[in-house]
Amino acid sequence: MNTGALRHLISTNDLTDDELVSLVERGAEFSSASLRSGGHLSGLVAGILFLKTSTRTRTSFSAAALRLGAQIVSFGPGDLQTNTGETLEDTAAVLSGMLDLLVVRTSGDPADLRALASQQRMAVVNAMTADEHPTQAVADLVTLLRRFGRIEGLRICYVGEGNNTAAALALTLSRFKGVHLELRTPPGYGLDPAVLRAAEANAARSGATLAEFHTMDGAADGFDAIYTTRWQTTGTSKPDPEWRTVFAPFQVTAALWDRSPEAVFLHDLPAHRGEDVTAEVLDGPHSVAFDQAENKMYAAMAVLEWCAGRR
């Protein structure tokens, strides 16, 4: 049904460096009042399939599709007959005859999205899997670009679990020259080693630097941005009943700004004040977390346009 050169976005690894930069720049462009609506996706139909809860990502993609002139069909976790045993490949074959794009959130295996992307008539977008949250990273980079006018050379400190948001952040920021990304993750809750190796390889190629520590001791200073996520990642649980004790030293407090007084604060939300971050930080003058949430819509607009082959 789609006459353009459709593209899937399952992982940030699906993007070349130039494509990543183009998406981020386009997302920033969409934040302009003159570009927040239009007919870029006119005549297309986007499916929105969310198997897990979502406020920001689901709304951002739905609003993005509608603002760009597409129609949407929404599915909940109990709506498709994959629940009765139909294969993902058969589901994809059916949906691709009716939809031009399919945005999917699942806390499961990214191989499920690869199965949905096994056809070439419908673009598939990863709106979060257990291992990576690629469109969150695009929104994060849009936020940084809008705030600083650049991404190259920025110093970013990520504090918290090495979850799917952290993975996408590491895999993307490591592509930009001069970026320094420091991850402070609780012991036993760091980045997946394969993700860390891939990010380190990106950094070696691009001229970025990347370091992961499992303590808050000896944190560097002069950061441009400090980022955290909720301790209990959406759709997951932790087997260790004492995990909160392990995470407690990694709460983001105002003390982190003593050595980085100009840093902005990012959070992919939802936030739990008093756990992952104090209210003083989240609601304070350094926080751009709610601007970051709005930028998810602009990032979604860029992703949908790119995946539909309309740019």
CATH number for 12-132+297-307: choose from 3.40.50.720, 3.40.50.300, 3.40.50.1370, 3.10.20.520: 3.40.50.1370
Residue type, 129: T
d(CA 22, CA 211) in angstroms, rounded, equals 26
d(CA 57, CA 50) in angstroms, rounded, equals 10
Reported residue count of the chain is 311
Give the H/E segment covering residue 18.
Answer: helix 17-30
Specify the pLDDT at position 4. 60
Specify the pLDDT at position 2. 43
Q: Is the pLDDT of residue 304 over 50?
A: yes
Start-end of CATH 3.40.50.1370 domains in the chain: 12-132+297-307, 134-293
Name the least confident of 110-114, 160-164, 195-199: 110-114
Name the least confident of 4-8, 99-103, 266-270: 4-8
Specify the pLDDT at position 252. 98
How many helices (DSSP H) and strands (DSSP E) are in the chain? 10, 9
Specify the pLDDT at position 303. 98
CB 14 within 8 A of CB 140: no
From the CB of residue 187, how many other CB atoms can be counted at a distance below 10 Å?
A: 9
Q: Is the pLDDT of residue 108 over 80?
A: no
Q: Which two tokens stand for residue 31?
A: 């934040």
Residue with tokens 């995990």: 243
| Whole-structure pTM value | 0.95
In this predicted model, what pLDDT tens digit does every residue of 274-298 receive, in sequence order? 999 999 999 999 999 999 999 999 9
pLDDT band of residue 235 (cuts 50, 70, 90) is low
Specify the pLDDT at position 59. 98
CATH number for 134-293: choose from 3.40.1350.10, 3.40.50.620, 3.40.50.1370, 3.30.1360.120: 3.40.50.1370
Q: Please give the average per-residue pLDDT across 60-85, as a whole number.
A: 96
In this predicted model, what pLDDT tens digit does every residue of 1-47 receive, in sequence order? 445 689 999 999 999 999 999 999 999 999 998 888 899 999 999 99
The winner for highest mean pLDDT among 79-93, 170-184, 225-239 is 170-184
Longest Cα–Cα distance of the chain, Å, equals: 56
Q: Please give the average per-residue pLDDT across 43-53, as a whole number.
A: 96
Q: Is the pLDDT of residue 72 over 70?
A: yes
Instruction: Give the residue among 234, 181, 188 at the shortest CA–CA distance from 203.
Output: 181
More confident residue, 107 or 136: 136
The SS3 assignment for 247 reads helix
Specify the pLDDT at position 1. 43
CB 128 within 8 A of CB 12: no
Question: Residue 297 CA to chain centroid, in angstroms?
Answer: 12
